[in-house]
Amino acid sequence: MPGHGFGYGYGAVGHARRTPLGAGQGGTPTPTPTPSYSLPALDAIVAHYDSAAITPQADGTALAQWDDASGSGAHAVQATGANQPKYRTDGANGRAYVEFAGGTAQWLAIATPGALRTAMDTQNYTVLAVVEAATGAPGANIFGVGAGGSSPSLWAGGTNIGWASSNIAGSTVPHGAGAGYMTLGLISDTTTQAVSAFKQIMRNIFRGAIYNSHTNAASVTNGKTLAIGAGNIDASPTFAFKGRVYRIIVWDRPLTAAELMQAEAYFCWFYGQTHPSVTLGRHLYLDGDSRTAGVGSSALDGTLKLAYKVAAGLGHPLGTYSVYAIGGAKITELIAKGGEIDGAAQALAALDPAMAHRLIYEEFFNNRTLAVGDLATPNTLAYLTAQYLAERRAGMPSSLKIMGQSPFDHVNTQNPQPSAWAAYIQANYAALGLDGLADVWGSVLGGDDACPNSAPYTPYWGDGVHLTPDGQTVQAGIIVDACDALAGW
């Protein structure tokens, strides 16, 4: 990312602080920010490791303790000199950071996690970290337990970043996002009934944007020692992180998409970076069902997922697109959660009013018992789809353009038949509220028996719907071509 000033105002959301620890930064005493830039939900912060709040000392000094600036007392400590990271002063925008060398493990153990552990074990929290990763061992632990298996760990290796939990490494994606720091993190949520079949949601964060969703919450800590810089502290410290850590913040609730963007705006201001969507001049949103979330590709490599393939094909690097798709979602449920997208879009518009916003939408056929209907008949597929699209038009900036995907299913056994819904979308996509249509049904992937349970595109679950990575490559190409053909996209 370019190393120049952020340069855009942002309307901060006011929250009472948990403790009076700093000038609007949840414990960071200096520098005092302008009113336009502040962290959200200060009252919900239960751990805050802020290198700017460390008492200034000589560059390269060994760091024995990194105080928790939230007031919760979850200080990170290391008594053994050989295992202490270094306090450094030459970071982004002249800010201090904590350097972990990798190789010989350096780590800080969180001795009294208190409210931090409580939040993580309720599985309702948000964690964001600001780091610069150097080449390190795969799976290097930035923050968490990091003991393998179902242990929660925010990590970065030489090629990937992500959140590992419950044996899910589907959050891993290349972290090569240009020079400068990166932010990454996770939302774990058991409180929101996002879709009828799933209440627990895990969403992975990169540069303030949701880039993957799973239908389960993060795993609990199982009483293991939380640490910064390495994992498996209770046995033999491994997974040593190599790089710079500027901040790690944990909130005791899921942040909203708008709050995530507010935090990212603050980080960009504080560390002298430009938000990647501001640099690009546009932001991409993908919403819909499990296919749009990337189900069907390998859980071990985020580059195989549909959203990543589509974004890359449209020239969107990480941090310039958001994925709101959730497995099993029905159109009625997508309507209910659609305001998340609106909130993120409005927060980005506050950073740059000229930014272009693009939404790719699909709900393939999860409301299989609803009639296709029409725009005038309530509780039909057509009516509800038009409602969803109209609400996004009203809630998002005026620069919005929406590309839809047609459904596909490998057999016509449902009522209504998928071919009937596909035919309606093909004939009426503009009346539904779409600017363009990526006609998957009319491709080699769609149509009755066009994509049966056989190689090379299916099965994933033997259902003829969830595609292999090869199938998702084909689908992404259809979407990208349709977007490229749409004027003003």
Overall average pLDDT of the 186-208 stretch: 82
Report the chain's mean pLDDT, rounded to a whole number: 83
CA pair distance 441, 449, nearest whole angstrom: 11
Residue 203 and residue 170 in contact, taking contact as beta carbons nearer than 8 Å:
no
pLDDT in tens, 267-321: 999 999 889 899 999 999 999 988 888 776 665 577 778 898 999 999 998 889 9
Domain ranges across the chain: 42-188+218-255, 277-485
Cβ neighbors of 143 (< 8 A, separation 6 or more) are: 127, 129, 153, 154, 226, 227, 228, 248
Q: How confident is the model at residue 45 (pLDDT cuts 50, 70, 90)?
A: very high
CA pair distance 330, 194, nearest whole angstrom: 10
For 452, list phi and psi in degrees, rounded to 5.
-75, 180
Res 242: pLDDT: 85
Treating both helix axes as pointing N-terminal to C-terminal, what angle do 418-432 and 381-395 enclose, rounded to 10 degrees?
30
Lowest-confidence pick of 51-60, 122-131, 200-209, 371-380: 200-209
Strands 76-77 and 108-110: antiparallel
Q: Determine the topology of domain 42-188+218-255 in CATH.
A: Jelly Rolls (2.60.120)
Strands 242-251 and 45-50: antiparallel
Res 6: pLDDT: 22
For the cut 60, the answer to whether the pLDDT of residue 241 exceeds it is yes
Res 166: pLDDT: 56
Q: What are residue 249's DSSP bridge partners?
A: 48, 128
Residue 150 and residue 287 in contact, taking contact as beta carbons nearer than 8 Å:
no
Res 159: pLDDT: 58
pLDDT in tens, 383-437: 999 999 999 999 999 999 999 998 877 666 777 788 889 999 999 999 999 999 9
Res 423: pLDDT: 93
For residue 292, give the 3-state DSSP assignment.
helix
Whether the domain at 42-188+218-255 and the domain at 277-485 fall into the same CATH topology: no
Res 23: pLDDT: 30
CA pair distance 320, 413, nearest whole angstrom: 39
For the cut 90, the answer to whether the pLDDT of residue 196 exceeds it is no
Cβ neighbors of 187 (< 8 A, separation 6 or more) are: 125, 126, 201, 202, 203, 205, 210, 254, 255
Q: How confident is the model at residue 363 (pLDDT cuts 50, 70, 90)?
A: confident
User: Which two structure tokens, joined as six digits, stand for 142?
Assistant: 């930035």
Res 216: pLDDT: 82
Q: How many helices (H) and strands (E) does the chain have?
A: 10, 22
CA pair distance 210, 418, nearest whole angstrom: 30
CA pair distance 167, 149, nearest whole angstrom: 5
DSSP annotation of 440 reads: S
Tell if the pTM clears 0.85, that is, is over it. yes
Q: Determine the topology of domain 277-485 in CATH.
A: Rossmann fold (3.40.50)
